[in-house]
Amino acid sequence: MNRLELKVSDFDYHLPDSSIARFPLEERDASKLLVYRSGEISHYIFRDLPGLLPPDAMLVFNNTRVVPARLHFQKESGAWIELMVLDRVYDAENEQPGWVWSCMIGNKKKWHEEEVLSIKKTTEAGPLVLEARWHNREKDEVLLSWQPQNSGFYEVLSQMGEMPIPPYLNRDAEESDKQNYQTVYAKQEGAVAAPTAGLHFTERVLDKLKEKQLAMAELTLHVGLGTFKPMKADKVTDHEMHAEKVVIPGQVLAQLAAHSGPVVAVGTTSIRSLETLYWLGTQWLETGIFPEFLETDQPYQWAHRNPDYRTLCRALAEWMEKENREELRFSTCLYLMPGYEYRIVKGLITNFHQPKSTLMVLVSSFIGDNWKKVYESALEHQYRFLSYGDSSFLMP
């Protein structure tokens, strides 16, 4: 079907409330694993994964780290203002020490223009104060400053903030979420949602992957709240895709260039990052300039271009070495829909997603209409769905 004719309702299915996992299992790698390979479905436990991957596979992980991005400020009147810090706009050192953030703001009408909000907390290191004041009310930009200033911002968030667990869990964040809603390999702080496919990995599973000498690489995509943004339009293409920031080290390009087996993305964020790399690299080959942003429709306009991704990655790695660049930084609005031809990724590890979501559209773009058979099987076998739920390994 032409992607322009796709309807959001085409990606709907019945998800019983009882199938939504509101808390994770005690053992991450004890979750169920549905394997879809060449049209066939089989069922395992996640810790079986190392023995199920092709021996020449390369796994690519997203090492972003979720920050406790939800802040609650109480006014003197008793009213509460909630801030969800989303995207750092810039340092505001020329005005007042602090960082300007784009935020989602709850109870915004009760926060007046000149009003300064604050949270005070006593820590082992002494008193800590976080203040919020308007920077640009129309754009929902807030200046956040803190004392003592020698504390890092993310250190302050770890003391003051709550983990931004998904709204569909329909519960308050708990202290245990600070560990549970984080992959064991999380490193780069900046996400406000977890790359949940990675939540099933344990040191035990990673050690087994190393024992089997499977190739592994890490990139960073800072997941935004747009991943939960409902699709309100009737047509799939009318949904506005969110932009997310990506960092890919030069050594990952060298790994991709030298690898001859299938590339398996751990999560939808990794697959978007890798496929975006392909299209921005293709543009770089033609213009000599590496773009910093991929528009939603660009891959569909360039579909006739098809350079080998290994040759492309090799050329990019050589160029980066010549330019003394250690990493590529860019943003992506890539929207993976049915009809898209994957250029790098041949396998996907991912959770079971919400009906009528962009992630369901992505799964359909990867395995076609067989997504319905996969989800029916998962429901029949009582899999747990969404962020804290079970997993799947998909190879068309």
Q: What is the mean pLDDT of residues 215-239?
A: 90
Cα-trace Rg, the chain:
22
Which CATH number is 3-66+180-395's, of 3.30.1370.10, 3.40.50.620, 3.40.1780.10, 3.40.640.10? 3.40.1780.10
pLDDT of residue 99: 87
Q: Where are the domains of the chain?
A: 3-66+180-395, 70-161
pLDDT of residue 87: 85
Choice between 167 and 33, residue whose per-residue pLDDT is larger? 33
Residue 60 pLDDT more than 60? yes
- The answer to whether the bond into 355 is cis (omega within 30° of 0) is no
Residue 95 pLDDT more than 70? no
Share the mean pLDDT of the chain: 94
Q: How far is Cα 308 from Cα 282, in angstroms, rounded to an integer? A: 10
31: helix, strand or coil: coil
The answer to whether 376 and 15 are in contact (CB under 8 A) is: no
Instruction: For residue 126, name the pLDDT band (cuts at 50, 70, 90).
Output: confident
The rounded percent of the chain whose pLDDT value lies above 90 is 88
Residue 94 pLDDT more than 60? no
- The answer to whether the bond into 148 is cis (omega within 30° of 0) is yes
Q: What is the pLDDT of residues 298-346, one digit of tens each?
A: 999 999 999 999 999 999 999 999 999 999 999 999 999 999 999 999 9
- Model pTM score: 0.94
What is Dmax (Cα atoms) for the chain? 64
pLDDT of residue 123: 82
The answer to whether 317 and 253 are in contact (CB under 8 A) is: yes
pLDDT of residue 13: 98
pLDDT of residue 90: 66
Q: What is the mean pLDDT of residues 173-180?
A: 95
Q: What is the mean pLDDT of residues 164-183?
A: 95
The structure tokens listed for 15 are 């998800």
The CA-atom distances, in angstroms, between 110 and each of 143, 144, 167 are 17, 18, 23
